[in-house]
Amino acid sequence: MPARLRLFRLHFDPPPRGDTVPASDTSSHPTLTSAPETVSAVTLARRPSGVPQVDDFELRTLDREPLAPGRVRVRVRDLSLDPYLISLLGEGHMGDSALPLGAVVPGRAVAEVVEVAGSIALAVGDLVVAETGWRSEAVLDAAAVTPVEAPEDLPASAALGVLGMPGLTAYAAHVRHLRPKVGDTVVVSAATGGVGSLAGALARLAGARTVAVVGSREKARVAVEEVGYDEAVVRTEDDWVEQLRAACPARVDGYLHMADQATLDGVLEQLAIGARVSLVGVIDQTLGAPPTRLRAGAVMGARATVHGMVVYDHHDLAAEHRTRVAALLRAGQVTLREHRFEGLEQAARAFHTLMTGANVGKVVVGVS
Amino acid sequence: MPARLRLFRLHFDPPPRGDTVPASDTSSHPTLTSAPETVSAVTLARRPSGVPQVDDFELRTLDREPLAPGRVRVRVRDLSLDPYLISLLGEGHMGDSALPLGAVVPGRAVAEVVEVAGSIALAVGDLVVAETGWRSEAVLDAAAVTPVEAPEDLPASAALGVLGMPGLTAYAAHVRHLRPKVGDTVVVSAATGGVGSLAGALARLAGARTVAVVGSREKARVAVEEVGYDEAVVRTEDDWVEQLRAACPARVDGYLHMADQATLDGVLEQLAIGARVSLVGVIDQTLGAPPTRLRAGAVMGARATVHGMVVYDHHDLAAEHRTRVAALLRAGQVTLREHRFEGLEQAARAFHTLMTGANVGKVVVGVS
């Protein structure tokens, strides 16, 4: 790994005794070590109401699946947790149906091939990205796993973050929606997360003034000092709209939205003429929140263009995205920022952290 | 005028005795004939609350303004009434301040130059388009009037409609926002009005299936039989969403919005993947209505692109628009559809008609 590669990994420390984080008691989730013939997995125990709690999930031991020709057994190394999952736990996502109670929670991971059956192009020891779900081991169709495309000099877990789907989301929003020019002002919400931190870096490298919208003072510090935003605005503070106005004296030319209604309302009022808005995520995907809506008058007044973003539409950019961002990682201009939790039994807590916005960077659970 | 030019002019007939149209009593607005030294004008008597009423306006006789060098006196022929005016009467439009009580109501007109002062490029008898306001005669800076650019074989009033601002609005929304391809489905609201009828015709000529959203059965008939839409949906009927779904079996690729919240909500739910929405007007510009908002989930689910449209940004298209639409008018592929009222004393009633959506086509008041 070159010396200039900046890798921040924030490891999870268990809360001290007496800590009041809700439903964070891990004693009900004893750490299991997979016996050779069993697999650890986390299932949906209860449909979350509001912010998902640790108790909504259950760590279970399942029998190992037999291997059939054309399939591979993989051992999960790094499990990615992503916000879209919340809608699967409730009413379904993008037309998918909701996850049944008792089912293994879906998720994408970097995994190592440990057994292959039949004549396939993969070998034991290969690292792949696959939809393994929250489990220690998975059996999958060989066609459903993809060799890790992160360059070998970079950590494989980058394939889940800045070089994976969140990174492609940021890259596509940048090149297809926000398209900042030198001197533009680009505002990014969820600015220190997996998508936001890359979007901010790309806008800065394009010559834009970049402004982070974050949920805490600590994240504001990280946004400016570590990610490199010009300014950061704390959306939970009473005067945040004034902070935003002060941070964007020439108004807002590009806005990447992954936040709540109040944030959207506040930023839309500050749009410059001809502004571009990329709707990447909305907090109403949290169960129970009213649907996010955009004021049409603000869009018309700014003659803005609003793009609904779904990363699946932008896979044609994947190779360009990986090449360019890997080069930026090596040059130290983009940081691989991970908020790591160790052990599958920490996945539920990690998801709670993600969905309360307490993470700084891409949330990854180290499984084996 | 070539034989194939289709010109529909719906003339206003006074309501029969006993008619219950609100505030439509014209007896309080006696018809005045300008004496040589005076000018008829309509002023704002009362700030409208909700739909503007005839009594919100007052027909007055003003002294003739003297002519100074570099200025022209014009006699108003055809006065254009446009929906954006409503916001001037209330809280102001696009940053303009509200119209003071007692001021002459603003408006664009085709007018004839009757007197010039100083050395200017205009001659008596020239037809011009100018912001005359609602008056029989106006004195204006020569620089503020534009020679009528409608070809001589077409009625000059076309410069207020299909060849003027409403036409340019439709043209720009078509070429810059909706961009229909052969086989696309394009939905147009306010579909028989000045903007909508041209937008529908342009989409049809581009090979799209066109669906009108209108406010009455009669307009649905006009939309299909006269304007040429493939289907029409009556948004005031209980089952209108089912009508829309039936009319758009392949969902909606392009939508031109100039209607209310319920119409926007209904159409957004039917968007096809990659749909384009042009926000041309919103009914919340009617005083007192809550602001129109777009559901972000519908925009994201369809990966739609929503454009805020203001015609002033698209003047670079004006020459192309006039050339192309004039040719379509001559070929009979686009219809010059005017809903005419005769006499300045009918302007308030004409505006009430426009703002209740009872017009079919561009609303024009013949002044002299």
Amino acid, single-letter form, for residue A116 = V
CB A272 within 8 A of CB B308: no
CB of A313 within 8 Å of a chain B CB? The answer is yes
Which of B94, B296, B309 minimises the CB distance to A294?
Answer: B296
Residues of A in Cβ contact (< 8 Å) with B84: none
CA distance B162 to B318: 11
Extract the residue ranges of chain B whose pLDDT is less than 70: 1-36, 91-96, 284-289
* CB atoms closer than 10 angstroms to residue A288: 10
- Closest listed residue to residue B79, CA positions, set B348, B357, B313, B306: B348
Angle at which helix B261-268 crosses helix B240-247, to 10 degrees, equals 40
pLDDT for B108 equals: 95
CA distance A275 to B298: 20
Q: What percent of chain B is helix, strand and coil (3-state, nearest 5)?
A: 30, 30, 40
pLDDT exceeds cutoff 80 at A15: no
- Cα angle, residue B165 at apex, residues A271 and B68 outer, rounded to 5°: 100
pLDDT for A275 equals: 98
pLDDT for B282 equals: 81
pLDDT for A25 equals: 39
pLDDT for A282 equals: 82
pLDDT exceeds cutoff 50 at A182: yes
pLDDT exceeds cutoff 80 at A231: yes
CB of B292 within 8 Å of a chain A CB? The answer is yes
- Closest listed residue to residue B83, CA positions, set B166, B144, B201: B166
Question: Which of A251, A278, A300 to mutate against chain B (most B CBs within 10 Å)?
Answer: A300
Question: In this structure, what are the phi and psi dihedrals at residue A241, rounded to the nearest 5 degrees?
Answer: -65, -40
Residues 236-265 of B with CB under 8 A from A: 257, 264
Per-residue tokens: A281? 């995520």
Amino acid, single-letter form, for residue B338 = E
pLDDT exceeds cutoff 60 at A35: no
Residue B98 is classified by DSSP as P
Map tokens 């921040």 to a residue: A8
Residues of B in Cβ contact (< 8 Å) with A172: none
pLDDT digits (tens, 9 = 90+) for A268-310: 999 999 999 999 988 764 556 688 999 999 999 999 999 999 9
Q: With CB atoms and an 8 Å threshold, state whether A304 touches B308.
A: yes
Residues of A in Cβ contact (< 8 Å) with B295: 291-293
Residues of B in Cβ contact (< 8 Å) with A279: 296, 299-300
Map tokens 């990174």 to a residue: A167
Domains observed in chain A: 7-154+335-366 (3.90.180.10), 165-314 (3.40.50.720)
pLDDT for B83 equals: 84
Residues of A in Cβ contact (< 8 Å) with B297: 282, 284-285, 291-292
Q: B117 exposed, middle or buried (CB, 10 Å; 0-12, 13-18, 19+)?
A: middle
CB B81 within 8 A of CB B107: yes
CA dihedral over A337, A339, A343, A345, signed as positive or negative: negative
pLDDT for B360 equals: 80
At residue B345, the 3 state secondary structure works out as helix
Per-residue tokens: A12? 């999870």
Q: With CB atoms and an 8 Å threshold, state whether B295 touches A295.
A: no
Q: With CB atoms and an 8 Å threshold, state whether A284 touches B296.
A: yes
Per-residue tokens: B113? 């130059």
Q: A with B: how many residue pairs have Cβ under 8 Å apart?
A: 94
pLDDT for B90 equals: 76
Angle at which helix B165-172 crosses helix B318-330, to 10 degrees, equals 100
- Closest listed residue to residue B118, CA positions, set B68, B170, B59, B51: B68
Map tokens 């100039």 to a residue: B258
At residue A26, the 3 state secondary structure works out as helix
CB of B299 within 8 Å of a chain A CB? The answer is yes
pLDDT digits (tens, 9 = 90+) for A312-365: 999 999 999 999 999 999 998 998 888 999 999 999 999 999 988 888 888 999
Which of A264, A303, A308 minimises the CB distance to B310?
Answer: A303
CA distance B128 to B131: 10
Residue A104 is classified by DSSP as B
Per-residue tokens: A287? 């169960």
Query: What's the gap in Å between the CA of B300 and the closest CA on chain A?
Result: 4
CB B327 within 8 A of CB B159: no
pLDDT, mean of residues A173-188? 98
At residue A209, the 3 state secondary structure works out as strand
ipTM of the complex: 0.81
- Closest listed residue to residue B284, CA positions, set B258, B267, B260: B260
Task: Name the CA dihedral angle for B343, B348, B351, B353, rounded to a multiple of 10 degrees.
Answer: -90
- Mean pLDDT, chain A, integer: 87
pLDDT band, very low/low/confident/very high, at A244 (cuts 50, 70, 90): very high
Q: Choose the weakest-confidence range: A131-140, A246-255, B5-14, B129-138.
A: B5-14
Kindly give, in sequence order, each residue whose CB lies less than 8 Å from that of residue A216, ignoring residues fewer than 6 positions away: A234, A236
Q: With CB atoms and an 8 Å threshold, state whether B293 touches A296.
A: yes
At residue A165, the 3 state secondary structure works out as helix
CB of A287 within 8 Å of a chain B CB? The answer is no
Residues of A in Cβ contact (< 8 Å) with B264: 296
